[in-house]
Amino acid sequence: MKSRKLFYGIFATLMVLNIALWFGREPILDWQALRTYQAPSAISKLASDDTMTDKAQKYFYINHPSIEDRTNFNKHCPNNSEQSVVLGCFLGNRAGIYLFNVSDPELHGVEQVTAAHEMLHQAYQRLSSAERIKVNNLLEKYYTDGLTDSGIKDQIKLYQKSEPDAMDDEMHSLFGTEATNLSPELESYYKQYFSKRSTVAAFYTSYQSAFTERKQQIADYDAQLSKLKPQINSLESSLEQQKSALNTMQSQMDSYKSSGNYDAYNGLVPVYNAKVNTYNADLELLKSKIATYNNVVEERNNIALEEQTLQQHLSSKLQSTSAQ
């Protein structure tokens, strides 16, 4: 009887220990992941640049993050569904974070935003059910009532198509790294991950400006071209009519001259010359407008090529950065 009680006592104790270990497994496994890990200088700099708190750094480092070239990034993230401005992947709890190496100086900040974005995926996984419900409500309310950034809205539309079941998780990373004006509740929430979240958002704004400025320049050039094109077409049509009228008048003058009607001929000479002068002036104006149009096209295409090159630098799937 005593041995049975002892057995049950030991069994109960083991059950309690197993339950305790089960619920405390994450800290233990995190400790194991960090026990011998030493963050490379480039990785620790990203954490520092992003003003990650100790909690955020832990979530970042337990995934042993790595900055990869194109080939290795595509090996580790073959099914990466992140959008072009977030070049990274989070493979799951402590399973790894991979960041695409973006070296173009005009795109400085991409790696910082990507690092913070992927870290927040890990953080979202660690939320309890009650915490997640609360955070999801804040995210969805901000998306409905507070979000004004068209760029972030466009990204969310893409996620709605590619990852409709992970919208709250994606918004959790997007808003935390890209939105400049969050609700006070969300700002307070993200303080556990960033001591100065605005720094991360500033990285996003900085490299996005490389695109927005070029898009605006292209739009301005297109507006100029849309005004010049009908002017050129109108001048070309007018010159054709003037040329036809001059040819008709020239034939009439030749007829007068051959028939000896010099008074009629001489009477048309000043009119003809005036029309020739008008034609030549319009022709020079046409040449000028065509030259302006061609210059604008060249400048517009140069800016478009710059934008294309930047886009290629942000695409892990492209094999080269040559313009097509």
CA geometry: angle 180, 185, 191, nearest 5 deg = 70
In tens, the pLDDT along 114-129 reads 999 999 999 999 999 9
pLDDT at 319: 40
DSSP state of 65: -
pLDDT at 1: 52
Is 12 in a helix, a strand, or coil?
A: helix
Phi, psi (deg, nearest 5) at residue 99: -120, 135
Residue type at 10 in one-letter notation: I
**Residue recorded with tokens 């295409």:** 301
CB atoms within 10 A of CB 222: 12
CA distances from 69 to 42, 76, 92, 118, 222 (A): 14, 11, 21, 17, 36
CATH architecture assignment, domain 208-313: Orthogonal Bundle (1.10)
pLDDT at 315: 66
- Cα separation, 292 vs 286, in Å, equals 10
Q: HEC string of 216-243?
A: HHHHHHHHHHHHHHHHHHHHHHHHHHHH
- Cα separation, 54 vs 25, in Å, equals 20
Question: What's the token pair of residue 107?
Answer: 């795109």
Question: What's the token pair of residue 263?
Answer: 């008074």
- Cα separation, 121 vs 90, in Å, equals 7
- Cα separation, 314 vs 162, in Å, equals 19
Question: What's the token pair of residue 213?
Answer: 């400025």
pLDDT at 301: 92
Q: Which residues of 90-101 are buried (b: 16+ CB within 10 A; e: fewer)?
A: beebbebbbbbb
| Closest to 80 in 3D by CA, of 176, 154, 162 | 162
Domain boundaries, the chain: 29-205, 208-313
| Closest to 50 in 3D by CA, of 177, 170, 151, 171 | 177
| Closest to 82 in 3D by CA, of 121, 47, 50 | 121
Q: Which residues of the chain have pLDDT under 50?
A: 7-23, 83-85, 318-324
- Cα separation, 171 vs 152, in Å, equals 9
pLDDT at 9: 46
CB atoms within 10 A of CB 161: 8
pLDDT at 3: 54
